[in-house]
A = this chain, B = another copy of it.
Amino acid sequence: MAGRKLEVRYEPSGTTAHVPPGTTLFNAAHWAGIPIESTCGGRGTCGKCKVQVLEGHAERTLADYRHVSGGLDEGWRLSCQCEIDGDMVVDVPRALMVPKAATMGVGRFVLLEPNAVKYLLTLTTPTIVDARSRLRRVIDALVIEGLEVTVAPSVLPRLSAVIGDDEVSVITATVVGDRLIDVENGDTTERAFGVSIDVGTTTVVATLMDLRSGGAAAVESTINRQAPFGADVLTRVSHTQMHGPEGLEQLRAAIVATIDGLLGSVCATAGIGRDDVLEVVAAGNATMLHLLLGVDPESIGHSPFIATFLEPQDLRAADVDVEIHPEGRLVLFPSIGAYVGADIVADMLATGVAREPVTRLLVDVGTNGEIVIGNEDRVVTTAAPAGPAFEGGQILHGMRATEGAIEGVVLDVEAGEEGAVRLQVIGGDVEPLGLCGSGLIDIVAQLRLTGLLDGGGMLLSPDEALAQEHPLASRLQVDDEGVRRFALTDDVMITQRDIRELQQAKGAIATGIEAAMRERGLTVAGLDEVLLAGSFGTYIDPLGARVLGLVPPVAVDRIRAVGNTASEGAKMALLSFREREVAFELPGFVEYLELSGVEDFNERFIANVGFPPLELVRPGAIAGDPAP
Contacts and interface: CB of A to CB of B under 8 A. Distances in A.
A294 to B, nearest CB: 5
Contact of A61 (B62, B299, B304, B308): B62
Q: In the complex this chain forms, how many copies of it are found?
A: 2
A529 to B, nearest CB: 29
Contacts of A13: none
A59 B305 CA distance: 47
A596 B160 CA distance: 23
21 contacts: A59-B62, A61-B61, A128-B304, A131-B304, A131-B338, A131-B592, A133-B307, A133-B308, A135-B311, A153-B313, A153-B319, A156-B294, A156-B295, A156-B308, A156-B313, A157-B294, A157-B296, A159-B308, A160-B295, A160-B296, A165-B304
A619 interface: no
Contacts of A295: 156-157, 159-160
Interface string A108-152: 000000000000000000111101011110010000000000010
A308 B169 CA distance: 14
Interface in A325-346: 337-338
B596 A154 contact: no
A523 interface: no
A293 interface: yes
A315 interface: yes
A306 interface: yes
A176 to B, nearest CB: 15
A311 B131 contact: no
Contact of A159 (B65, B131, B309): B309
Contacts of A59: 60, 62, 65
Contacts of A338: 131
A128 B337 CA distance: 11
A377 interface: no
B83 A126 contact: no
A133 B165 contact: no
Contacts of A153: 293, 313, 315, 319-320
Nearest to A82: B62
A310 interface: yes
A391 interface: no
A597 interface: yes
A501 interface: no
Given A128-B594, A135-B308, A139-B311, 8 more contacts: A59-B62, A134-B307, A134-B308, A156-B294, A157-B294, A159-B308, A161-B296, A165-B306
Nearest to A594: B128
Interface of A: 59-62, 65, 83, 126-129, 131, 133-136, 139, 151, 153-154, 156-157, 159-161, 165, 293-296, 298-299, 303-311, 313, 315, 319-320, 337-338, 592, 594, 596-597
Nearest to A126: B306
Contacts of A83: 62
Nearest to A309: B135
A139 to B, nearest CB: 8
A514 B91 CA distance: 59
Contact of A293 (B157, B303, B596): B157
Given A59-B60, A165-B304, A133 B309 contact: yes
Closest 6 CB pairs of A and B: A153-B315, A135-B309, A133-B310, A160-B296, A128-B304, A133-B307
A139 B61 CA distance: 28
Contact of A310 (B127, B135, B154, B298): B135
A189 to B, nearest CB: 23
Given A153-B319, A303-B128, A594-B128, A308 B62 contact: no
A139 B310 CA distance: 12
Contacts of A139: 311
Given A59-B60, A299-B165, A310-B136, A305 B157 contact: no
Given A319-B154, A594-B131, A136 B306 contact: no
Contacts of A136: 309-311
A411 B160 CA distance: 52
B128 A308 contact: no
A161 to B, nearest CB: 8
A159 B293 CA distance: 12
A308 B131 contact: no
Contacts of A309: 133-136, 156, 159
A299 B157 CA distance: 13
Contacts of A313: 151, 153, 156
A295 B159 CA distance: 8
B596 A298 contact: no
Given A154-B319, A315-B153, A596 B305 contact: no
A128 B161 CA distance: 57
A320 to B, nearest CB: 7
A156 B62 contact: no
A319 B293 CA distance: 19
Nearest to A127: B304
A293 B337 CA distance: 42
A595 B93 CA distance: 51
Contacts of A133: 306-311
Nearest to A334: B133
B299 A160 contact: yes
A596 B131 CA distance: 12
